[in-house]
C-alpha cells in the first residue's frame, strides 16, 4: 500500500512517524522548499496530544524540549486588575506544558527516514491513484491523506465545506530577547501565558523558547475586511504600533507599553473555522486530518487534535494493513466524535472571549464554583 500524506505539519508528521514505528512506509509531500523555509509560529499547549507522542515513541524527547513553566498563567482586565495568577511549581507534572512549534516539528521530522519528506511538492490535484504537483511532477498512491491545513486543497475531494470568518481579527507582534531589552516587561509577563481580556478585545503575551515574547492582539466582533478599514498601516511598523495603541485607549499603560516595545514584525491574521461536527461519506483512498478536517478557533485544541488524528490513523492502518478502507472508516468514526467535542468546547470558549466581560467569564472558566 502506497500512503501519500500531503502536508508536513504536526498531524501529517505524527501519522508518518506512527506508521514508521509500525514498519509501514509513507511519503509526506510538502509545498515548502525546506523545513526552514518559513517561521513555524509560537508556543503550543500540548495536553491530550501527548498520547500521540507516546504512540510515536517520542514522549521522553518531548519532555526534554517542553517548558513546564509555560503552564504559568496571569489573567487581567484592561484596567490592570489582576484576576488570576497561577505559578507552576518546579516539580509539577507536565500536564499542559508549552513547547515551541518549530522544536516539536523538528522532533517529528528528525524521527523519520531522510527520504520520507519530499520538499517543494505543492499539491495540485489527485484522481485515479495519481497525485499531481505544481511543478508538473506526479506520484502514485493507494491512500491519500490531506494534512494540508486550513486552506486544504485535498478537502475538496471529500466535501464542499470551506472555512468561514468568525468575527475575530488578530495582529501578531513580538518583543525579541525581552529579558535583556525590557526586563521590566519581562517580569510583568512572567514565564508563561499573560492574558488581558475585556471590551471586545484581548492581548495575549507568551514566552517563546528563543527569548522572544509573542503578542497577539485580538479584535472580536469585527468583519472579515476589518483590516482594510481599520487604518492600521502594516507597511509602516511605527505607524501600525501607534494605531494599535489607539485601539487600546483606556487600557492600563503597562499593556500599551508592551505594544510600544514590539519590533517591526507585525502580521495581520483573520480567524476562520470549519463547521462544528463536519463529516463526509467515507471514501476509499482518501481522508483528512488536522485543520484540513476540523479547523477550530485558536484556543489550545487544534494542535492536540492534529497530533491525535495522525497517531490514531496510523494505529488504525497498522491494525488493518490489508484493508485501508476499513482503517479509514474506523479512524474517521473516532475522529468525528473526538474532534466535534473539542470544536464545541472551543466555540464555547470563543464566545466567552468575545463577550464584554470576558475577563470575569474566563476567571469562572478557570476556577469553576
Sign of CA dihedral 357, 359, 363, 366: positive
Q: How many of the other CB atoms lie within 10 Å of CB of 337?
A: 11
Q: Which residue has the cell 497530533?
A: 307
Mean pLDDT across 216-221: 95
pLDDT(359) > 80: yes
C-alpha cell at 278: 463536519
**Does residue 201 sit in helix, strand or coil?**
strand
Residue 67 carries which DSSP code? B
pLDDT(209) > 90: no
CA dist 77 → 105, 161, 200, 205, 248 (Å): 34, 37, 12, 14, 12
pLDDT score of 369: 60
User: Nearest-CA neighbor of 30 among 4, 6, 63?
Assistant: 6
The whole-angstrom separation of Cα 316 and Cα 324 is 8
pLDDT score of 199: 85
Using pLDDT thresholds of 50, 70 and 90, give the confidence band for residue 211: confident
The whole-angstrom separation of Cα 159 and Cα 269 is 25
Question: Bigger pLDDT: 312 or 361?
Answer: 312
**Does residue 317 sit in helix, strand or coil?**
helix
Secondary structure E strands in 58-113: 73-76, 82-86, 98-100
Give the number of C-alpha atoms closer than 13 A to the C-alpha of residue 62, restricted to the C-beta side.
27
**Does residue 171 sit in helix, strand or coil?**
strand
- The answer to whether the beta carbons of residues 12 and 290 sit under 8 Å apart is yes
pLDDT(218) > 70: yes
Residues 6-39 pLDDT 10s: 999 999 999 999 999 999 999 999 999 998 877 7
Give me the long-range contacts of 88-95 (CB less than 8 A, separation at least 24).
88/191, 88/192, 92/68, 94/50, 94/63, 94/66, 94/68, 95/47, 95/71
Give me the long-range contacts of 48-54 (CB less than 8 A, separation at least 24).
48/304, 48/305, 48/308, 49/303, 49/304, 49/305, 49/306, 49/307, 49/308, 50/94, 51/308, 51/311, 52/14, 52/18, 52/307, 52/308, 52/310, 52/311, 52/312, 53/14, 53/307
pLDDT score of 262: 97
- The answer to whether the beta carbons of residues 154 and 126 sit under 8 Å apart is yes
Q: Of 70-79, 263-272, 329-338, which gets the smallest average pLDDT?
A: 70-79
Sheet holding 193-198, edge to edge: 82-86, 73-76, 193-198, 201-207, 213-220, 164-175, 267-273
| Residue 167 CB contacts under 8 Å (≥ 6 apart), including other chains | 220, 221, 222, 223, 354
- The answer to whether the beta carbons of residues 76 and 198 sit under 8 Å apart is no
pLDDT score of 40: 65
The whole-angstrom separation of Cα 255 and Cα 215 is 11
Residues 306-326 pLDDT 10s: 999 999 999 999 999 999 999
C-alpha cell at 128: 485515479
Question: Bigger pLDDT: 369 or 250?
Answer: 250
Mean pLDDT across 360-367: 82
**Does residue 327 sit in helix, strand or coil?**
helix
For 167, phi and psi rounded to 5 degrees? 85, 20
Amino acid at each position: 500500500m502506497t500512503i501519500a500524506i500531503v502536508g508536513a505539519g504536526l498531524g501529517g508528521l505524527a501519522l508518518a512517524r506512527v506508521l514508521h514505528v509500525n514498519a509501514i512506509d509513507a511519503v509526506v509531500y510538502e509545498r515548502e522548499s525546506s523545513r526552514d523555509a518559513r517561521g513555524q509560529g509560537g508556543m503550543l499547549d500540548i495536553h491530550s496530544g501527548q498520547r500521540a507522542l507516546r504512540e510515536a515513541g517520542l514522549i521522553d524527547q518531548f519532555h526534554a524540549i517542553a517548558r513546564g513553566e509555560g503552564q504559568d498563567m496571569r489573567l487581567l482586565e484592561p484596567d490592570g486588575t489582576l484576576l488570576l495568577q497561577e505559578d507552576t511549581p518546579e516539580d509539577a507534572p507536565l500536564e499542559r506544558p508549552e513547547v515551541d512549534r518549530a522544536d516539536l516539528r523538528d522532533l517529528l521530522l528528525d524521527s523519520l527516514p531522510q527520504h520520507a519528506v519530499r520538499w517543494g511538492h505543492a499539491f495540485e490535484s489527485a484522481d485515479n491513484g495519481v497525485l499531481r504537483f505544481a511543478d508538473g511532477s506526479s506520484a502514485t498512491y493507494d491512500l491519500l491523506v490531506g494534512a494540508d491545513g486550513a486552506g486544504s486543497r485535498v478537502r475538496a475531494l471529500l466535501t464542499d465545506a470551506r472555512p468561514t470568518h468568525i468575527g475575530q481579527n488578530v495582529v501578531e507582534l513580538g518583543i525579541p530577547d525581552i529579558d535583556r531589552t525590557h526586563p521590566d516587561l519581562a517580569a510583568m509577563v512572567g514565564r508563561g501565558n499573560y492574558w488581558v481580556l475585556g471590551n471586545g478585545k484581548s492581548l495575549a503575551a507568551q514566552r517563546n523558547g528563543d527569548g522572544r515574547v509573542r503578542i497577539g492582539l485580538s479584535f472580536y466582533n469585527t468583519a472579515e475586511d476589518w483590516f482594510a478599514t481599520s487604518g492600521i498601516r502594516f507597511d509602516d511598523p511605527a505607524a501600525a504600533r501607534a494605531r494599535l495603541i489607539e485601539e487600546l485607549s483606556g487600557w492600563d499603560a503597562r499593556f500599551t507599553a508592551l505594544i510600544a516595545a514590539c519590533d517591526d514584525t507585525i502580521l495581520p491574521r483573520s480567524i476562520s473555522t470549519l463547521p462544528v461536527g463536519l463529516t463526509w461519506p467515507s471514501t476509499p483512498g482518501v481522508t483528512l486530518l488536522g485543520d484540513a478536517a476540523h479547523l477550530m478557533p485558536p484556543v489550545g485544541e487544534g494542535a492536540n487534535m492534529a497530533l491525535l488524528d495522525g497517531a490514531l490513523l496510523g494505529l488504525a492502518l497498522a491494525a488493518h494493513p490489508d484493508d485501508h478502507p476499513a482503517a479509514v472508516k474506523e479512524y474517521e468514526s473516532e475522529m468525528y466524535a473526538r474532534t466535534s467535542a473539542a470544536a464545541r468546547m472551543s466555540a464555547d470558549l470563543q464566545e466567552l472571549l468575545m463577550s464584554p466581560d470576558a475577563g470575569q467569564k474566563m476567571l469562572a472558566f478557570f476556577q469553576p464554583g
